[in-house]
Amino acid sequence: MPAHAVSRVPSGGDGPGAAVLRLDGEWRFQLLPSPEAPLADHWARTAVPGCWTMQDFEDIHGVNDLPWYTNVQMPWPAPPPHVPSANPTGVYERAITVPAEWAGRRIVLHVGAAESVLLVRVGGEDVGIGKDSHLASEFDVTDAVRPGEPTVIRLTVVKWSDASFVEDQDQWWHGGITRSVYLYATDPQLYLEDVHVAEASADGSLRVDIRVRASADNGVLPEGWHISGHLDGIGELGPDTAYAEANEADERVSDWLGLARISARVPYVRTWSAETPELYGLTVRLHRADGAVVDQAAYRIGFRTVEILGRNLLVNGVRVLIRGVNRHDFDPLTGRVIDPADMRADLETAKRFGFNAIRTSHYPNDPALLDLADELGLYVVDEADIETHDHAHELADDPRYLAAFVDRVSRMVLRDKNHASVIMWSLGNESDYGVNHDAAAGWVRGYDPTRPPHYEGAVKIDWATAGMAVSDVVCPMYSSIGDIVAHAESGTQTRPLIMCEYSHAMGNSNGTLAEYWSAIESTPGLQGGFIWEFRDHGILQRLADGRPAGPCAPPSTDGVAPPGHRWAYGGDFGEVPNDGVFCADGIFFPDRTPKPAAYEHREIAAPIRLTHTADGHVRVHNRQDVVGLDRFAATWILAAADGSARALPAELPSLAPGTSADVAVPFELPTTGEAWLTLRVTGDGAEICTPSIRLRTEDRALLARADAQIVDTGVIELDDAGLLVHPLLAAAPTLSLWRAPTDNDVLGGMAERWRKWGLEAPARTLVAITREGPRTIVRSEYATEAGPVAHEQVLTPLHGGGVLIEETAMLPGRLDDVARVGSVFETAARHTEAAWFGTGPWETYPDRAMAPVGRHRSTIDALFTPYLRPQESGGRNGVRWIALSEADDDAPGLTIHLDAPRQVSVTRYRAADLARTAHHDELVPLPDRCVVHLDAAHRGLGTASCGPDTLPEYRIAPGVHRWSWTIR
């Protein structure tokens, strides 16, 4: 049946129009090795919806079909449309008894989504076939079921088909029925075929176009009908026109299509936007001639206008910035079966971290997701289920795939058109550009002129002129800041530029996000983008048998898989070929725990920002597009580098969007030293953002006070290699130039360069030890393939047993891009707690450091971020001092003061151990010590795993580096 927007479940489910029989639950099941294989006599059982690749069931035929991850490459080599002979095929069967009262009614089978080809047999009769793994298929089964008597429904789902070539998205391949299955019944002759909210605009205009199907029973048509409508808070709506057209395909008139329209003008309409998700309940009723309601449909609609004016995308006339994130239907326990509560949690989490937009990468999501986006307020780029990545160039022009392109796009639009949240239609992803796209875009433009079409593949070769027929926005992926700004300033830009993907969140990443946003906010023509992507696609896997753990697994905590489990990525199920850890690229962990980068985004997207004024006041800005600050509460916090902090409730000024007001600094500053002011903003009980500004800079070197503590008579103890021996240390400070490569370092090629240079463990040679008064000078050399690095430590004893360490490293010219320059040492005690003054509390790096400066504390374990594949982790940027201690005993603590704000990390792992471990759960913490890095320079993170490397200003130049610190 054609796609439509008349939902029978859940909103319209119990109305007078339709009765619903839900078929979710246990079904008989056999997984066959291929569609041709014979069925066994014996059946297993499994739950619907469910991915068989994720479920435990009796595998009668020994198919053992597990999740399979590939990015671009198809899992088999044959070209389209050929499929491999090994083709897992799930056969689901269930005997159902349709209520006897359904006799004489029209009965429809709805299969929410099946991956990938669905074949339907009801009562032994073949009823139909469906494709598109992410849209519903409906079948009229009136003639195949006998109400009151048992009928067998068989759903056969074939994994690989010609359609797999258009579903070649970068994600796990699964098989199964992934959304709900149900039957519904309507009047046999008269029912709503579709309802199209064709206009619900910001000025209150409403137009609803309704298609009514009226069919003859033994040649007799229903005797007349009419439509009525109701809008909550407004009242009854009358139809403008109701007319019918006969469809005389054969001489016996059997089918009528009736068209009706409801128009209204809502006075003082409350417009919908991501910041004001105002919805109105709309009910459309279909009446018989006698007035009785025979069918009805209910919607929650929003009044809003989306338009493109020059280089701006406007919502209700306002240029809104798109702070988006790409979201897949993903669940670590079920694969692709997503419950509404999970969808809500995804969207609420996204909003809480400053996102106001979702791209449904790369296929239509469950319609419930759009209900939630309407309700919670998120702009949606709704994307059709088309990605031909491995064969993109061929298929975009292949007439054999023309119908697939047009079907997939048009069926999505037919289904989702009534959602206020949908502001653009995306024709798919990474499928090159060809006439099949032109055809799909033509359909979209004709059917729904109210929303711009969006398609990256068409614009990628030339932003100024390419793809005008199919994309009204320039929506590139992973463009550099330089490129987008240059385009906006070139004078050739004709369309809004909104990146469909940027800032690849793989592992420890999202460097330079703040620079993207300062470019976007200061350059007309740039309007935001969608981070890649929402969650890491790590599947929870049992270590005991290597199978997906499933919904009964013990819970994960803070992003870490429960004991006996791990987050599996490509290859972990033994699949070949695979694309490894490339699927773990979310700004949230598989269990939705935010990564530090999510906080970075939250602060960049902060609705309230602070700046300085010339006269020493603080300027408070409302950075929102539509609303004031009324929903927020806030607290001022003053932090001083001596560790003291004061807090006061804040009175937020009343500010229209885009405006600011100056307020006096609410504290008296301490007499000396650095001081920072943070505004901790909350809304609905949750922390929204913590903008922070410096009120006073340190007025003297951070370490100056150390001078006063030098003891002339103290002795620095060294071992034979000239390394410091000290009771607080298990391993002396040495020079470190390397970090455990991040995914960006690996895929961007830096890790390989560092390996060739021999940076991981360069051999150290002692050159000289000299003693000058209290100072001991140790000169050494580290041998790299790019030449020797000279290193000098000047060690001076301090009162109370501390040491001042002043270091210099000289990098030869060829070492022009190292990971870090700094000290690494290991503590003699297993400290458990850390307190520091610097950015925090979350992990920060030089190019990802949007975090309040102040005194923070954490357990040492919690400093470490459990990236799925271990890598550099746990750093804090801008640290002035850090103290390590033990929670529960009085073992001596350890305090480090730095000469300047520095990048610091304290972990239980050596970089080399991180680098050689494939999964977080395989890491073995050092039992008796901490590993401390203090960096004079640390390379930014960038996003080179897919996109630009870190900017030159965050790379490390060769030459002389100096830093000093005290330990006590």
Q: Which residues are catalytic?
A: 430, 501
**Residues of this chain, 421-480, that bind Mg ion according to CB under 5 A:** 430
Residue 946 interacting partner from ligand GAL, Mg ion, none (CB closer than 5 to 8 Å by kind): ligand GAL
Binding residues with ligand GAL: total (CB under 6 A) = 12
Q: Closest separation between CB of residue 71 and ligand GAL, Å?
A: 5
Residue 585 makes contact with ligand GAL by CB under 6 A: yes
Cβ closest to ligand GAL, residue 428 vs residue 852: 428
Q: Closest separation between CB of residue 863 and Mg ion, Å?
A: 35
Per-residue three-class SS string for 156-200: EEECCCHHHHHECCCEEECCEECCCEEEEEECCCEEEEEEEEEEE
Backbone angles phi, psi at 357, to 5 degrees: -150, 150
Q: Closest separation between CB of residue 495 and ligand GAL, Å?
A: 20
Residue 201 interacting partner from ligand GAL, Mg ion, none (CB closer than 5 to 8 Å by kind): none
Residue 943 makes contact with ligand GAL by CB under 6 A: no
Q: Closest separation between CB of residue 582 and ligand GAL, Å?
A: 6
Residue 9 CB coordination number (10 Å): 17
**Residues of this chain, 351-380, that bind ligand GAL according to CB under 6 A:** 362
Residue 398 makes contact with Mg ion by CB under 5 A: no
226 and 287 Cβ atoms separated by less than 8 Å? yes
C-alpha–C-alpha distance, residues 447 and 445, integer Å = 6
DSSP state of 29: E
Would you give the distance in Å from CA 862 to the centre of its chain? 23
Residue 578 makes contact with ligand GAL by CB under 6 A: no
Residue 168 makes contact with ligand GAL by CB under 6 A: no
The two structure tokens encoding residue 51 = 């991915």
Query: Which residues, 6 or more positions from 817, have their beta carbon under 8 angstroms from its beta carbon?
Result: 750, 753, 939, 955, 956
Measure Cα distances from 781 to 18, 45, 736, 767, 785 in Å. Answer: 81, 68, 12, 7, 13
Q: How many residues does the chain have?
A: 968
Cβ closest to ligand GAL, residue 416 vs residue 501: 501
C-alpha–C-alpha distance, residues 365 and 501, integer Å = 18
For ligand GAL, which residue has the nearest CB?
170
Q: Closest separation between CB of residue 326 and ligand GAL, Å?
A: 7
Q: Helical H runs in 316-421?
A: 340-352, 367-376, 392-395, 402-416
Q: Closest separation between CB of residue 94 and ligand GAL, Å?
A: 35
Residue 172 makes contact with ligand GAL by CB under 6 A: no
Residue 585 interacting partner from ligand GAL, Mg ion, none (CB closer than 5 to 8 Å by kind): ligand GAL
- Respond yes or no on whether the N-terminal peptide bond of residue 49 is cis (omega within 30° of 0): yes
Cβ closest to Mg ion, residue 502 vs residue 825: 502
Cβ closest to ligand GAL, residue 504 vs residue 542: 504
Residue 595 interacting partner from ligand GAL, Mg ion, none (CB closer than 5 to 8 Å by kind): none
Backbone angles phi, psi at 87, to 5 degrees: -140, 85
Residue 204 CB coordination number (10 Å): 16
Residue 448 makes contact with ligand GAL by CB under 6 A: no
Cβ closest to ligand GAL, residue 392 vs residue 818: 392
Q: Closest separation between CB of residue 503 and Mg ion, Å?
A: 17
Cβ closest to ligand GAL, residue 539 vs residue 639: 539
3-state SS of the chain: helix, strand, coil percent to 5?
A: 15, 40, 45
Residue 221 CB coordination number (10 Å): 17
Residue 186 makes contact with ligand GAL by CB under 6 A: no
Instruction: Annotate each residue in 29-68 with x if it binds ligand GAL (CB under 6 A) or - if it does not, as one string.
Output: ----------------------------------------
Among 7, 89, 410, 429, binds ligand GAL (CB under 6 A): 429
Label residue 220 exposed, middle or buried (CB < 10 Å: 0-12, 13-18, 19+).
Answer: exposed
Per-residue exposure over 575-608, b if at least 16 CB sit within 10 Å of its own CB, e if not: bebbbbbbbbbbbbbbbbbbbbbbbbbbbbbbbb
Would you give the distance in Å from CA 459 to the centre of its chain? 23
For Mg ion, which residue has the nearest CB?
389
Q: Closest separation between CB of residue 406 and ligand GAL, Å?
A: 22
Among 501, 536, 899, 949, binds ligand GAL (CB under 6 A): 501
947 and 785 Cβ atoms separated by less than 8 Å? no
Cβ closest to ligand GAL, residue 106 vs residue 601: 601
Spatial CA neighbour of 266 closest among 293, 229, 241: 229
**Residues of this chain, 68-127, that bind ligand GAL according to CB under 6 A:** 71
781 and 788 Cβ atoms separated by less than 8 Å? yes
Binding residues with Mg ion: total (CB under 5 A) = 3
Cβ closest to ligand GAL, residue 8 vs residue 389: 389
Among 167, 170, 536, 872, binds Mg ion (CB under 5 A): 170
Residue 660 makes contact with ligand GAL by CB under 6 A: no
Q: Closest separation between CB of residue 171 and ligand GAL, Å?
A: 7
Cβ closest to ligand GAL, residue 386 vs residue 896: 386
Label residue 522 exposed, middle or buried (CB < 10 Å: 0-12, 13-18, 19+).
Answer: exposed
Among 170, 331, 385, 843, binds ligand GAL (CB under 6 A): 170
Cα distance between the two ends of the chain: 76
Residue 430 makes contact with ligand GAL by CB under 6 A: yes
Residue 946 makes contact with ligand GAL by CB under 6 A: yes
Q: Closest separation between CB of residue 464 and Mg ion, Å?
A: 25
For the four alpha carbons of 417, 422, 425 and 426, in that order, the dihedral sign comes to: negative
Cβ closest to ligand GAL, residue 428 vs residue 762: 428
Q: Closest separation between CB of residue 492 and ligand GAL, Å?
A: 25
Cβ closest to Mg ion, residue 170 vs residue 194: 170
- β-bridge pairing 150-158 and 114-115: unpaired
C-alpha–C-alpha distance, residues 660 and 171, integer Å = 44
Angle at 669 between CA 668 and CA 674, to 5 degrees: 165
Using CB under 6 A as the criterion, which residues of the chain lie in contact with ligand GAL when the complex forms? 71, 169-170, 362, 429-430, 477, 501, 504, 532, 585, 946
Using CB under 5 A as the criterion, which residues of the chain lie in contact with Mg ion when the complex forms? 170, 389, 430
